[in-house]
Structure formats: C-alpha cells, structure tokens
Amino acid sequence: MSLNDVIKRYLDQNHWMTMEQFMELALYHPEYGYYMSEQKKIGKNGDFYTSSSVSDVFGKVWADVFAKTIHEHKLDPIVVEFGAGTGRFAKQVLSGWKDNGNGQQISYIIVEKSPYHRQLLQNELTGSSVIIFCSFEELKESYPDFKGIIFANEVLDAFPLRIFLKQKNDWFEKVVILDEAKDEIRFNYINASEHTLLLDKLFASRRSDFELEVSLQMMNWLNDLYEWTAEKSIYFFVDYGYRGEEWNREALKEGSIRGYHKHKIENNTLSYPGKMDITYHVNWDQVENAAKKQDVETIHFSMQGEFLLKEGILLLLNDAKGTDPFSAEHKRNRAIRSFLLDSTLANGFQVMKQQKKRTVL
C-alpha cells in the first residue's frame, strides 16, 4: 500500500477530491504524509532550505527581536513557535538570548504535529527547557490566558488550499480525479456556483480568469489564533507571498502552487504524493482581512532583508582577518551578505508583524 493507492481508492469511490483534500493526504496522512514521514526534508540532502538552516545569525537576530518586543509591549516572556522543523531556529534563539544577557527567563514553546519532527526536536533541544506540544488544542488548554509572542516561519504556506477560476460568469473548482483509462490522477474542473457569493467577495480585486487560490484552513487557523490570544499579543509571520495587484501578474495565471522535490521545482503538484513538499505563495491580503475581523492590526510589513537590516544583522559581522574562506568568521559574514543581497533570502520572503488591539470599554 502506498499513498498513491490510498488516493486512487478514494477517487474510485468518490469520483473527485478538492486540492485541499489531496494536500491534506499528501502532506499530513499519518503514515504516508510528507511532513509526517521519516524523511529528511531540510538541507542539502532534503528538498529545500530554510533561513535557519543557512546560518545561526537568523535565530540570533530574532532573539533580540523577541527580547525587545517583550519589553516594549510589556508582554509575558513567552514565545510560541509553530512548525519548528528540526529545532535549529529554537536552539539559535535560546543561544542568542543567553549570549545577549537578557535578564528575564524566557519560556519557549513549540507546537509540532509530526511525531517524527517532535523526535528531531527532542534530540536537537536536549537539555533545554523548551516545551513541545503536539497540537494547537493542547497549547490552548495549557495556556488559556496567553499574552506573548507567536512566531510562524513558513507555516502559513503549509495549509492545504482550494483552487477556483471563473469562466463566462460561472465559478469552477479545480479538483483531482482518477483517469481510469491511464490509471493516473489528474486535474479536472467542476461547477462551483454554490460558492458564488463567497468567491465574488473573496476575489473581488483579482483577475477571475486566473486560477485563484485560497486556504480556508489557514483562515480558520488564524481566526482561532487571534481569538485565543489576549490583547497586546504580538504575531510574527515570515513567509513568501504577494499583496494586491502583485497577484494579477500574467506569471500567476496558473496560481503560485508548486512542489519542491530534491531542490527542484515541480510544477505538477500531483507528482510524488507524500514524497514531495507542496507549497504556494501566501496571500497577505487574506491574512490581513482575517486579522481585522478579530481586532488585530498589522503594524509592520517588509521584505525579510529589510527587516533583518533594521533589526541589526550587520552588528553580527565578524572581523575576519584570516585568509581561510571556510573559517567560522568568513562563513557567518557570507551568510549575512546572503540575507541582505540574495534575491530569495532578502526579497523572496516577507515579515508581517501584527498586534491584537487593546479593548476599549
């Protein structure tokens, strides 16, 4: 039995599934899902890199950001990281927090649903006081009165999505079907007129002849997150995405969804189910709209390079006098230049900072 067999069996009985259902299986099936399985995903031998896997300077800058944010907004010294992967970022933050001599003790919490990654976290963070929860529900039960920092790096793009387009004033949904003649899964379109009012409102500023992506799961998660946290809480979302008219560029006619397999982009997202990461660009407008409904405001938005520069990444440059290009000092300096000059690390990612408003009686 493979995930491909699971998907084909479902389609044989139900004829079609939404892209959201396909991604849920491909990424989160308890046995075969990409994020749930015991396979290396990050780094040279994986499928992609993350900012924290490039250098420890990323976590060290964020340690200062967290300390400053807690002080300025008078928050409880608690940071919750969602989807911590291997735990490298958490380790970097805790190391930076200690090295900088921040007086108060920080409570660092991780929410990670994958049993495999929870084991990686425990191995990486042995000896630390990090608390690891397996679900958001478990976190909410343990911290009913949370007033701290939420940090989510490349989390929003991991929520399954649905895909729609409009033709001749009728809405259609892009779904997955089984082509019995070829015994393979492929895309098809079904009428989605029952969602007309929602889709007309959701994509009012978008070219409807494009394939339009929306993650209802992400929106629901954000609503739960905003509702649970207390006033003054701060949220940091780091991801790659677009806003406003950026979405109407011709290059996005078929949407932004894609796969990453062995560091190569795979445009057919139905390939390698369970063996490949499936991701997409975050619609920051949808994030902001979800926030406004819960009295949460966006107080900062910028490219990652601009954010790291503003937060003092240049202060971490070493005086590398030696000639060995592979020395720790030279490696760190090259990493800092990458975060400021590399097109992906500097301008491919954005940082959104939000805060829950104080209730006015």
pLDDT at 297 over 80: yes
Q: What is the pLDDT at residue 324?
A: 53
Picking from 48-62, 154-168, 299-313, which range would have the lowest pLDDT averaged per residue? 48-62
Q: Are 241 and 350 spatial neighbours (Cβ–Cβ below 8 Å)? A: yes
- Domain presence at residue 359: no
Buried b (16+ CB within 10 A) or exposed e, 34-50: bbbbeeebbeeebbbeb
In a domain, 27, yes or no: yes
For residue 36, which amino acid is it? M
| Domain span including residue 18 | 3-354
Question: Helices (DSSP H) in the chain: which residue ranges?
Answer: 3-14, 19-28, 51-54, 57-72, 88-99, 115-124, 136-142, 196-202, 216-228, 284-293, 304-310, 328-341, 343-347
Collapsed DSSP state (helix, strand, coil) of residue 141: helix
Measuring CA to CA, which residue among 233, 239, 238, 244 is closest to residue 354? Answer: 233
How many independent structural domains does the chain possess? 1
Task: Give me the pLDDT at residue 56, please.
Answer: 84
Of the given ranges (115-124, 162-171, 301-310, 312-321), which has the lowest mean pLDDT? Answer: 312-321
Q: What is the percent of the chain with per-residue pLDDT over 70, rounded to a whole number?
A: 91
In a domain, 56, yes or no: yes
Do the domain assignments include residue 361? Answer: no
Model confidence at 18, pLDDT cuts 50, 70, 90, reads very high
Q: Of 77, 74, 349, 91, which is closest to residue 231 (Cα–Cα)?
A: 74
Q: What angle do CA 213, 24, 83 make, to 5 degrees?
A: 90
Q: What Cα–Cα distance (Å) separates residue 9 from each residue in 2, 127, 177?
A: 11, 45, 11
CATH of the domain at 278: 3.40.50.12710
List Cα–Cα distances, 348 to 29, 42, 89, in angstroms.
29, 18, 19
Q: Is residue 360 one of the residues assigned to a domain?
A: no
| 215 pLDDT higher than 90 | yes
Q: Return the pLDDT at 340.
A: 84
Question: Using one digit for the tens of pLDDT, what is the confidence trace for 226-262?
Answer: 999 999 999 999 999 999 999 999 999 999 999 988 7
Strands 149-153 and 184-191: unpaired
pLDDT of residue 320 exceeding 70: no
Residue 337 located in a structural domain: yes
Question: What band does 361 get if pLDDT is binned at 50, 70 and 90?
Answer: very low
Classify residue 335: in a domain, yes or no.
yes
Lowest mean pLDDT among 37-46, 81-90, 199-208: 37-46
Is position 44 within any domain?
yes
Residue 284 in contact with residue 243, Cβ under 8 Å? yes
3-state secondary structure of 232: coil
User: Structure pTM?
Assistant: 0.91
pLDDT at 354 over 50: yes
Name the pLDDT band for 31 (thresholds 50, 70, 90): very high
